[in-house]
């Protein structure tokens, strides 16, 4: 049996979905406030002075702090059921199914949130490693539970859950520099759907 690791945003989908989920899940008044509060960080990001990880952290903190778990779960289900289907690459689904028919363990490894990815992965019969929110007394704190699932954190979580030596071949599919560390532990790797050998 083999292991097949798939990044989600940009690999399975046609584009990054973080902003789309924020726009659907966060109430309009908080979106407006967030645009004002985070304008300096956004400018810094556009100038290359602020990392995408910092932007994600700040947006999540402002947007989701105090949201009830029930509202967040509802937004995640709606996003998964109504929004994501229009962004999925058909050839990505075909490749996942190809692995499944061979009996491979297929895992989505994403910086995206479990609020919506959990539903999508259950529907497609694949396993999931991703970012999630800290919850206290039924409300989201706006903080990540642990680290964002990006870069070396993707690899750490993969190796924590799966013993690479127990699989004949490890495949990995990614599309951004955040995926390179994950691709580094694979025997067969694809970057932007092109096989790479380094």
Q: Give the tens place of pLDDT for each residue, 6-21.
A: 999 999 999 999 999 9
Per-residue model confidence (pLDDT) at position 198:
65
Q: How far apart are CA 71 and CA 139, in angstroms?
A: 9
Per-residue model confidence (pLDDT) at position 166:
87
Q: Which residues of the chain have pLDDT under 70?
A: 198
Cα 172 from chain centre: 15
**DSSP strand pairing (194-196 vs 188-191):** antiparallel
Per-residue model confidence (pLDDT) at position 52:
86
* Helical H segments across the chain, by residue range: 18-25, 28-37, 39-46, 52-64, 69-78, 90-101, 114-124, 152-161, 180-184
Q: Give the tens place of pLDDT for each residue, 97-130.
A: 999 999 999 999 999 999 999 999 999 999 999 9
> Going from the N-terminus, what domains does the chain have, and what CATH number goes with each?
3-196 (3.40.50.1000)
Q: How far apart are CA 13 and CA 91, in angstroms?
A: 10
């Amino acid at each position: 049996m083999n292991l097949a690791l798939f990044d989600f945003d940009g690999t399975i989908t046609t584009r990054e979905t973080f902003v789309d989920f924020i726009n659907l899940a966060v109430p309009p008044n908080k979106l407006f406030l967030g645009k004002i509060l985070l304008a300096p960080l956004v400018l810094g990001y556009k100038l290359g002075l602020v990392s995408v990880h910092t932007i994600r952290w700040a947006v999540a903190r402002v947007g989701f702090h105090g949201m009830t778990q029930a509202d967040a779960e509802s937004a995640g289900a709606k996003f998964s059921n109504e929004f994501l289907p229009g962004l999925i690459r058909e050839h990505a689904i075909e490749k996942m199914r190809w692995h499944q028919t061979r009996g491979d363990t297929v895992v989505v490894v994403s910086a995206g949130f479990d609020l919506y990815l959990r539903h999508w992965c259950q529907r497609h019969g694949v396993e999931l490693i991703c970012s999630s929110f800290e919850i206290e007394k039924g409300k989201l704190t706006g903080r990540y539970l642990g680290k964002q699932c990006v870069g070396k954190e993707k690899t750490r979580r993969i190796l924590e859950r799966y013993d690479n030596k127990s699989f004949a071949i490890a495949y990995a599919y990614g599309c951004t520099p955040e995926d390179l560390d994950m691709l580094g532990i694979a025997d067969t790797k694809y970057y932007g759907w092109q096989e790479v050998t380094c």
